[in-house]
Amino acid sequence: MSSELFILGVPRSGTTLLRIMLDSHPNLAVGPECPWTAGSYGQTTSFKDLYHSLVKDQRGPVANFSGLSEENVALILGEAFSNILSSYAQAQGKKRWLEKTPDHITEIPFLVQLFPNSKYIHIIRDGRDVACSSYKEKETWGKNLNLSNKGEKARNTRLNALRRWCLWITQFEKWQQEYNLDVCQIRYEDLVEEPRIILEKILYFIDEPWSDDVLNYGQKKHDIPSWEAGSRDVSQQHQITKKGIGQWETKFTISDKLIAASFADYSLVKYGYQKTLN
């Protein structure tokens, strides 16, 4: 089986910008988010729901058909998922698909079950800027943030969004080691500062040739649903902007900075960002 490709990142980390860029490549179809994979964003019936019904229900096939295992079901569902996105890619005249749903960074064990040979592009953005952007979206997302894929929530504040950033990237690090994931890690700031260098790195990772189209993404047509906050933002800006870098320095209060420094600086410095308090 060929490697399935996923773009991951804490929400508001630049995953949509990256997906639009790669969707501009003549060989790659990177469509809208897929909350129907694992039930992100509410009550959408998902492949994950179906998986649990098939493998856990006493009337399901695993419990009643001898020789049929959870692994069999997972691979069959993975193939069905891949067929959906492959059909989408073909309809766009493309050869391959990538999938981008930010919350899937919390679903690595499930993705590994469905796609044992998958590759991941992990985009990281300064967690304090992520927090500012997440807080800005409170009118769209509601008053609460999802802290996990188990329904845990916290009020949408800058500090809680930063806590989520720390939690999610730390958990991803553990899963990366546990499952020996094949990951290309990039930073949002590097993508907007040196887009060609970073995109060349990504295309090399997924075995695709360079195309200038990825830099001219504003001239291409993309499927942009209204319910995706990130897609809305990118659709309004047809070229790369750096205005979101370092916004936390003016939007965090002194109190915010003191608290953030106490729990987030270790992770921030680890990924090359400056300490909160100089």
Q: pLDDT tens per residue, the chain (278 residues)?
A: 368 999 999 999 999 999 999 999 999 999 999 999 988 776 778 999 999 999 999 999 999 999 999 999 999 999 999 999 999 999 999 999 999 999 999 999 999 999 999 999 999 999 999 999 999 887 777 788 877 767 788 889 999 999 999 999 999 999 999 999 999 999 999 999 999 999 999 999 999 999 999 999 988 999 988 877 776 667 666 678 888 899 999 999 999 999 999 999 999 999 999 999 97
What pLDDT was estimated at residue 235? 63
Report which DSSP code applies to 51. H
Domain of residue 91, residue span? 5-270
Q: Using the structure block, give the residue that is written with the tokens 């695993």.
A: 62
What pLDDT was estimated at residue 86? 97
Amino acid at 182: D
CB contact at 8 A, 145 and 31: no
CATH number of the structural domain spanning residue 256: 3.40.50.300
Q: Classify residue 277: in a domain, yes or no.
A: no
The tokens describing 157, both together, are 């504040």
Give the distance between the most distant pair of CA atoms in the chain: 63
Q: Classify residue 276: in a domain, yes or no.
A: no
Phi, psi angles (nearest 5°) of residue 9: 170, 150
Q: Classify residue 275: in a domain, yes or no.
A: no
**Phi-psi group of 149: left, alpha or beta (phi > 0 → left; psi -120 to 50 → alpha; rest → beta):** alpha
SS (H, E, C) 220-244: CCCCCCCCCHHHHHHHCCCCCCCCC
Q: Classify residue 166: in a domain, yes or no.
A: yes
Of 156, 153, 158, 159, the closest CA to residue 132 belongs to 158
CB contact at 8 A, 13 and 92: no
Go through 239-248 and write b for each residue having 16 or more CB atoms within 10 A of its CB, e for each that does not. Answer: eeeeebebbb
Alpha carbon separation from 91 to 79, 86, 121, 173, 272 (Å, rounded):
18, 9, 24, 36, 40
Strand duo 5-8 + 96-100: pairing: parallel
Number of domains in the chain: 1
Q: Classify residue 72: in a domain, yes or no.
A: yes
Q: Classify residue 239: in a domain, yes or no.
A: yes
Q: Classify residue 25: in a domain, yes or no.
A: yes
In sequence order, what are the residues at sequence separation of 6 or more whose Cβ sits closer than 8 angstroms to the Cβ of residue 169?
Answer: 10, 124, 127, 267, 271
| Alpha-carbon 142 to chain mean position | 20
Q: Give SS3 for 80.
A: helix
Q: Classify residue 278: in a domain, yes or no.
A: no
CB contact at 8 A, 149 and 107: yes
What pLDDT was estimated at residue 237? 67
What pLDDT was estimated at residue 146? 79
CB contact at 8 A, 102 and 13: yes
